[in-house]
Structure 1
Amino acid sequence: MAIKAVFVPLARTTFYMPSAEENFSKSVQLLKNIFENIKVPDSLITEPSDLSKYLDEVSEPDLIIYQCTTFIGSEFMYEIMRKSKCPVLIWATREPSIDGTRLKLNSLTGAFSAGNSVYTQNRDFDFIFGNPDEDSVVESLTKYNKAITLINSLKELIIGVVGNQPAGFGFGNVNETDLIGTLGSRVARIEAAAIMDMAKNYTKEEVAEDLAELNACTINTNIPDENMEKYARLHKAFKTFVDENNIGALASRCWPDFFTGFGAPVCAVLSILNDNNIAASCETDIGGAISMFIGSKLTEQATYFGDPVAIDEECDSIVYWHCGAGASTLANKSCGAKLGVHPNRKIGPVMDFGLKSGEVTVIRLGKDQNGYRMFMYKGEALDEPQKFYGTSVTVKPQGGKAAEYVKKFVNDGWEPHFVVVYGDITKEIEIMCKLLKIRLFKY
């Protein structure tokens, strides 16, 4: 859902109004292109009383964009803080000219005044500098829109949890009270046995579409029909649980239950859920599922959930791997989304391929004694062959030195599951962590 933004362009008429009016007009046009739901005034606001009336027309905005179109005093910011609790983005524009003559706008000093007012009140704010036609300004506003949209999505998120964490995997659990307090997200639980019972009761006709979907997006060379049908039954049951509970992310038990109790892995089910915008992690890792949701919301594509299993010294990279739940849409085009058998249990279908190359951000919502924290680094997924049976991707951290990175990660006590997101989402993650008061570890 689109965030509710409010543009507050302020000016003093003693400054050079033609330049101020030009910036105002261009800013309105830009903001309407970025924000789907934004309130803008008909003209520059020059009096605190007019600002008060303007703010009364909007209830509970998600973001206020405070433009010091010229220099203004702190009385305007005080009025905003009195009427609103949301973050404020302070925007200063450039001087029209620096030529030894009149100071025409003095916008930057107005931003200092506003920043001091907000800072001393311990309120959330940030600063951007530049004219509305500059790429850096467009990028900053766009990333704020995406980050706050993500925060609102997290507040509405319901995380489906299938079963409990396997023995020794307690790091994947969360305190649901802390989760609601920090993110606003909720949990809906079901036992793995209940999913299997649902799956057993479908007819072949009822799961035909589920099977057809898998066949359409994968390459199957050796998986028996019986196992493919079991996949379809499990997918139907998972999808029913997701749809009935309005689930946006899912953390599922996998071994040993689905192998011993149903005779099929859940890997391919999670893969297809990820392809269909339901962030899905295995080994009941709830923090991992939330991390996948964050990455998929910011990039509008599937993310990859994996263990850091090796350091490849030849390409100075970290190999992330998992048994076979990688989204089919992430397969390297050189091999395609092949189906295989689980590398340990020798039962299919699971995904069996190397992932595509590209710019990536590796993230993880984790926790320690002080609450939630966020892991992040930029890197490049290399065009490397599949490293192990299952799915894998080889990530070179920005600047290399993979072994040094891994040492830091282990020494800082991070959980052994990470999420590889295709694209650069570092700024959005920084904004999210700042506003949610989550400590960010940026490597």
Structure 2
Amino acid sequence: MKIGILPLGRPTFDVPFAEEKLAAMLAALDATGHEIIGPRELLFDEASTRTAMSDLEAAEIDQLLLLQVTFTDASMAVAAGSGFEQPMAIWAVPEPRLGGRLRLNAFCGLNLASHALGLSGRAFSWLYADPEGEIAEDLAALLSGNRLAGRLDAKPVSERSAEGRRVAEALKGQKIGRIGEHPVGFDTCAYSAEALETLTGVGVDALALDDLFDAAKAVPETVAAKVRVAAEADVTGLAEVDQAELDRSLRLKAGLDSLRANGGYNAFAIRCWPETFTQYGGAVCGPVAMLGEGKVPCACEADVYGALTQLILLEAAQAPVFLTDLVDMDAADNTGVVWHCGQAPISMRDDQAEATATIHTNRKQPLLYQFPLKPGPVTFVRISQAFGETKMVLGFGEMLRRPMAFTGTSGVVRFDRNARDVLDDIIASGLEHHMALAYGDHRATLRAVAAELGLPVLEI
């Protein structure tokens, strides 16, 4: 076959490492005997990707293969899916769990793409595998169309309970403050305020990022000093980061408190990047961790349904929740890794590990919390809009006591099903890249909540 490739990447990740992985992917593809057409270097932006797409169209390829070398948003996957009629596949690469930065985050890119392609009804095949491993058989299956994503749907539930009714009733009248628009290519974060309120009784107010930035800048010195004292009680090492950037970051916590008091918000959905770094000059991750511990959930990337999911889980668990990315699945180890930059509530820290202050790995600004998650049973949930149908997705597992997989706040989880099966279901379900996590088994209550809200349930 004549296979056209689009090697996707972003320069904010570890480019030399990404180039090493791309070289290994190309070597594996060349070894298949197929004719490999297209750029053999990373495509970092829309312009270069569209130029490559035009070249592939002129070459009359038989199949399109996206090489998901680092994280990217889904915009180019969607453009490629609509621009080519040929069979389409995505190959994303894992990275070693070495305790350092998340160098590629390619799985999250695959996750975003699978959701967006599911919404558009575009069929695709996929592979998540190391090009330097035993890859020949899986790669052959991918290129022959034997790894189609398929579609996994939810099922109606009828089991009701007093707890389920309590949670559903508690949602009514709550409010989410959405601060800024979700980033381009994050179809996972799209929402309808009307549909959300009809479903749950939760309202959404749209605020501008400048509303938060202005509130943070107006914070009195005495209030900012109190936020710093609170952060010092959580993490060590505040004195070791840039102090001006730290001050700006901590002021975001007080700014969110001010917006919450004025607007009566129970949760926030915040467009955290890039503007908090590029325009304001400080990370919101640490403040999000502090608010989460105070049972005021915050969702990254203006993910309103992520904030809603957290509110539901918070009511069910009566404990802090954490909106997390799944960033790795290892079938051999039968585990996955959940991670977010550095915003897990401090009560989720493994008490055998220290919590430290750190900077964002890509943007290099504080404040982020850093620690491994504590061991124990965990429930995952997402109010999902996959395939354009609202449902509840549930998962369950055991957080293990393992060395920190990646910087920020992360944990290694063993699901109650085989990791390979969970991975298959995540892609087949078109699941969004954010899921809410809380300690304990809350599935019975959440199923009952779904029944109260009239939502079908998918358990992965």
The answer to whether the superposition gives a TM-score over 0.5 is: yes
Q: Deviations over 1:150-178 (max 9, x none)?
A: 10121121011111101111321211111
Contact residue 196 and residue 237 of structure 1 kept, 8 A? yes
Answer 1 or 2: higher relative contact order, Cα 8 Å, separation at least 6: 2
Q: Quote the Cα distance in structure 1 between the aligned partners of 2:371 and 2:327.
A: 16
1:163 corresponds, among 180, 183, 191, to 180
The one-letter amino acid of 1:288's match is: G
Matched, 1:429 2:429: no
**How far, CA to CA, are the matches of 1:126 and 1:290 in structure 2?**
22
Aligned: 1:402 with 2:422: no
Q: Give 1:339 shift.
A: 1.3
Higher CA-based Rg: 1
- The equivalent position to 1:304 in structure 2, one of 322, 326, 329, is 322
Q: What do residues 22-78 of structure 1 show as CA deviations (whole Å, max 9, x unaligned)?
A: xxxxxxxxxxxxxxxxxxxxxxxxxxxxxxxxxxxxxxxxxxxxxxxxxxxxxxxxx
Q: Secondary structure at the match of 1:374?
A: strand
Please say if residues 158 and 451 of structure 2, whose CA atoms lie closer than 8 Å, have aligned partners that are also in contact.
Answer: no
Runs of 4+ deviating beyond 6 Å: none
Q: Aligned residue for 2:459? A: 442
Q: Distance in 2 between matches of 1:369 and 1:178?
A: 16
Residue of structure 1 in register with 2:170 after alignment: 153
Task: Indicate if the aligned counterparts of 2:450 and 2:457 stay in contact, CA closer than 8 A.
Answer: yes
Q: How many angstroms does 1:193 deviate by?
A: 1.5
Q: How many residues align?
A: 303
The farther-off stretch of 368-377 and 352-361 is 368-377
TM-score under structure 1 normalisation?
Answer: 0.66
1:415 match:
432
CA distance 1:206–1:152, change in 2 (3 Å): same
Q: State the Cα deviation string for residues 209-236 of structure 1 (Å, max 9, x = none).
A: 1221111122225223222211221111
Q: CA deviation at 1:303?
A: 1.4
RMSD: 1.7
Q: Which moved more, 1:308-317 or 1:266-275?
A: 308-317
Asked if 1:349 corresponds to 2:367, the answer is yes
Partner deviation per Cα, 1:354-395 (whole Å, 9 max, x = no partner): 111101111111113553111102211111111111111111
Distance 1:225 1:170, change over 3 A: same
Alignment correspondent of 2:334: 316
Report the AA paired with residue 226 of structure 1: A
Matches within 5 A, 1:350-369: 350-369=368-387
- Counterpart CA distance in 1 for 2:392 and 2:264 is 26
Structure-2 residue corresponding to 1:234: 252
Q: Go from structure 1 to structure 2 and tell me whether the alpha carbon gap of 1:154 and 1:371 turns closer, same or farther (over 3 Å shift).
A: farther
Matches within 5 A, 1:207-218: 207-218=224-235
Is 1:277 the counterpart of 2:290? The answer is no
Amino acid at match of 1:182: L
Q: Report if the CA contact (8 A) 1:309-1:321 is conserved.
A: yes
How far apart, CA to CA, are the structure 1 residues paired with 2:340 and 2:248? 21
In percent, how many aligned pairs have the same letter? 24
The 8 Å contact of residues 213 and 252 in structure 2, kept in 1 or not, is answered as: yes
1:262 is aligned with what amino acid?
Y
The answer to whether the 8 Å contact 1:163/1:192 transfers is yes
- Aligned partner (choices 355, 371, 375) of residue 337 of structure 1: 355
CA separation in 1, counterparts of 2:231 and 2:362? 22
Distance 1:393 1:342 in 2: 18
State whether structure 2 residue 276 is matched by structure 1 residue 258. yes
Task: Name the SS for the 1:343 alignment partner.
Answer: coil
What amino acid is aligned across from residue 312 of structure 2 in structure 1?
I
Aligned partner letter, 2:188: F
Tell me the residue number matched to 1:57: none
Equivalence for 1:181: 198
Local SS of the residue matching 1:236: helix
Give distance in 1, aligned partners of 2:217 and 2:433: 33
Distance 1:315 1:233, change over 3 A: same
Q: 2:381·2:392 contact (CA, 8 Å) conserved in 1?
A: yes
Gap runs ≥5 in structure 1: 1-123, 128-143
Secondary structure at the counterpart of residue 364 of structure 2: coil
3-state SS in 1 of match to 2:188: helix
Work out whether residues 386 and 432 of structure 2, in 8 Å CA contact, stay in contact via their aligned partners in 1. Answer: no
Counterpart Cα distance in 2 of 1:125 and 1:392: 35
Decide whether aligned partners of structure 1 residues 126 and 390 sit closer, same or farther in structure 2, where only a CA change above 3 A counts: closer
- C-alpha separation in 2, matches of 1:224 and 1:390: 17
- 1:323 to 1:125, Cα distance in 2 relative to 1, 3 A: closer
Give 1:426 shift. Answer: 0.7
On the 8 A contact 2:177/2:269 being kept in 1, the answer is yes
1:313 deviation in Å?
4.0
Name the amino acid aligned to 1:225: Q
Equivalent position SS for 2:241: coil
Closer/same/farther in 2, CA of residues 428 and 420 from structure 1, 3 Å limit: same
Gap runs ≥5 in structure 2: 1-156
Q: Does the residue aligned with 1:164 lie in a helix, a strand or coil?
A: coil
Q: Determine the C-alpha separation between the residues in 2 that align with 1:329 and 1:394.
A: 17
